[in-house]
């Protein structure tokens, strides 16, 4: 049985060892497909990250496919049943690093676009691709930089489909129409180092900060809303001490994170954190890092078009969700674009033996094509 066009392209992309931030010629493969379709290709290099901006047309509505060609490291390859960069189909499942996150989606983007343009060469509006090799890394020279360049020349995306794996049990059963914000922090609490036998001569920063951390953990930050769960506070690392059992540490470092809803802002979270810490009278400093603001695309043209496409192709009544981590949608939504994330089942992303249903990639391509029809045909 020969592979379909979508599976052929997915395999060709998976074969390229594009561990972040290396694109490994994935975007070159994509541009070779898009250029004959009438796309203007613009490669944007920012330091060690290659990005591709490809656009066909200049009119509104402007629909963008956004995604990434980079993948996370494989880990020890001997732990994989099939080599991670040798795409293999077994029992209908396509194995390989990036098969689900998100080279399968990228292949489905391409074949959906090919078919749509072949059937509707005089479609209205514009189609574009915003592709980076920096999504799985620090995300500082990828989508965010391309968006900045587009904003500087007032080139606006109206609607954006991000190919992140959003589905849970069936392809298309969940689309993400928003994401929580992510605010990280590294807090250093100062004490006085000393001998454990003479605690009155020292100040143990771990003891001092513990009640404050307990209060932070018990705090109800908000109750969420119709689209977002309540804001969560989590401590991910605590580091202090010399390694010796008889030394009171001189400082302790606590790493924590807020995943927050549209009910709060980073400024409010910072103010409330400092208010709690200040009550306890110890010396501390906090270095904050905002990874992304929360965003929400309410029901409207893009959500409606995507939901209808899923229903048309699969007969599934899809669920709108804002759960999960961050995605590059956080850089695109603040420009005013409607943003949804739609991709295959996410059960094996970043895992050993990452895989995706080959049939699901075909379904995904059909959904993308139908969505384009809903948005760009009169």
* Beta bridge partner(s), residue 190: 251, 283
Please name the residue that has the structure tokens 């890092």. 289
Q: Burial-class residue 224 by CB neighbours within 10 Å (0-12, 13-18, 19+).
A: middle
Tokens coding 295:
């965003």
**112 with 41: CB under 8 angstroms?**
no
User: Above 90 in pLDDT, residue 182?
Assistant: yes
Tokens coding 315:
């007969």
Distances (CA, A) of 59 to 63, 330, 374, 376: 10, 24, 16, 11
Tokens coding 250:
């001189």
User: Above 70 in pLDDT, residue 239?
Assistant: yes
Report d(CA 108, CA 10) in Å as an integer.
8
30 phi, psi to nearest 5 deg = -65, -45
pLDDT at position 325? 78
pLDDT at position 326? 80
Distances (CA, A) of 52 to 44, 156, 172, 277: 6, 16, 27, 45
Q: Burial-class residue 289 by CB neighbours within 10 Å (0-12, 13-18, 19+).
A: exposed
Alpha helices in 279-357 (DSSP H): 301-314, 329-332
pLDDT at position 341? 97
**Residue 4 has what DSSP assignment?**
P
Report d(CA 189, CA 44) in Å as an integer.
42
- pLDDT-derived band at 2 (thresholds 50, 70, 90) equals low
The mean pLDDT value of the chain amounts to 96
String of DSSP letters for 84-104: TTS-EEETTEEESTTIIIIIH
**232 with 258: CB under 8 angstroms?**
yes
Please name the residue that has the structure tokens 């270095």. 287
pLDDT at position 144? 96
**117 with 38: CB under 8 angstroms?**
yes
Which among 22, 23, 70, 136 is annotated as catalytic?
70
pLDDT at position 323? 85
pLDDT at position 108? 98
Q: Burial-class residue 7 by CB neighbours within 10 Å (0-12, 13-18, 19+).
A: buried
Q: Is 101 a catalytic residue?
A: no
Write the pLDDT tens digit of every residue in 119-145. 999 999 999 999 999 999 999 999 999
**171 with 178: CB under 8 angstroms?**
no
Which among 22, 101, 114, 135 is annotated as catalytic?
135
Report d(CA 48, CA 162) in Å as an integer.
23
Report d(CA 300, CA 313) in Å as an integer.
20
Report d(CA 210, CA 125) in Å as an integer.
57
Write the pLDDT tens digit of every residue in 143-171. 999 999 999 999 999 999 999 999 999 99
Tokens coding 322:
């804002």
Average pLDDT on 237-265 reads: 96
Write the pLDDT tens digit of every residue in 71-102. 999 999 999 999 999 999 999 999 999 999 99
The secondary structure element, H or E, covering residue 182 is strand 181-190
Peptide linkage before 32 cis (omega within 30 of 0)? no
Report d(CA 305, CA 322) in Å as an integer.
18
Q: Is 15 a catalytic residue?
A: no
What is Dmax (Cα atoms) for the chain? 82
**46 with 145: CB under 8 angstroms?**
yes
């Amino acid at each position: 049985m020969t592979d379909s066009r979508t599976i052929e392209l997915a395999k060709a992309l998976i074969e390229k060892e594009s561990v972040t931030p290396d694109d490994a010629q994935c975007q070159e493969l994509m541009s070779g497909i898009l250029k004959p379709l009438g796309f203007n290709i613009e490669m944007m290099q920012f330091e060690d990250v290659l990005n591709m901006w490809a656009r066909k047309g200049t009119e509104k509505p402007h629909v963008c496919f956004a995604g990434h060609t980079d993948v996370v490291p494989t880990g020890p390859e001997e732990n994989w049943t099939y080599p991670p960069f040798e795409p293999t189909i077994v029992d209908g499942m396509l194995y390989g690093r990036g098969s689900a996150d998100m080279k399968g989606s990228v292949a489905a983007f391409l074949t959906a676009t090919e078919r749509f343009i072949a059937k509707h060469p005089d479609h209205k509006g514009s189609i574009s691709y915003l592709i980076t090799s920096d999504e799985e890394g620090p995300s500082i020279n990828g989508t965010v930089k391309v968006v900045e360049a587009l904003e500087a020349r007032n080139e606006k995306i109206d609607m954006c489909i991000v190919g992140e794996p959003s589905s849970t049990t069936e392809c298309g059963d969940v689309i993400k129409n928003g994401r929580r914000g992510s605010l990280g922090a590294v807090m250093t609490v100062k004490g006085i180092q000393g001998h454990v036998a003479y605690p009155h001569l020292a100040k143990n920063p771990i003891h001092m900060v513990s009640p404050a951390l307990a209060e932070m953990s018990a705090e109800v930050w908000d109750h969420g809303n119709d689209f977002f769960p309540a804001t969560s506070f989590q401590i991910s690392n605590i580091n202090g001490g010399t390694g010796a059992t008889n030394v009171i540490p001189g400082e302790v470092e606590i790493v924590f994170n807020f995943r927050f809803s549209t009910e709060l802002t980073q400024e409010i979270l910072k103010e409330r954190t400092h208010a709690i810490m200040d009550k306890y009278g110890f010396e501390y400093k906090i270095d904050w890092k905002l990874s992304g603001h929360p965003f929400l695309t309410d029901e409207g043209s893009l959500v409606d078009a995507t939901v209808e496409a899923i229903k048309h192709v699969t007969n599934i009544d899809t669920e709108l969700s804002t759960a999960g981590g961050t995605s590059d949608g956080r850089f695109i939504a603040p420009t005013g674009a409607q943003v949804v994330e739609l991709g295959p089942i996410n059960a094996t992303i970043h895992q050993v033996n990452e895989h995706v249903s080959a049939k699901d990639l075909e379904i995904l391509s059909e959904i993308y094509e139908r969505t384009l029809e809903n948005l760009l045909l009169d």
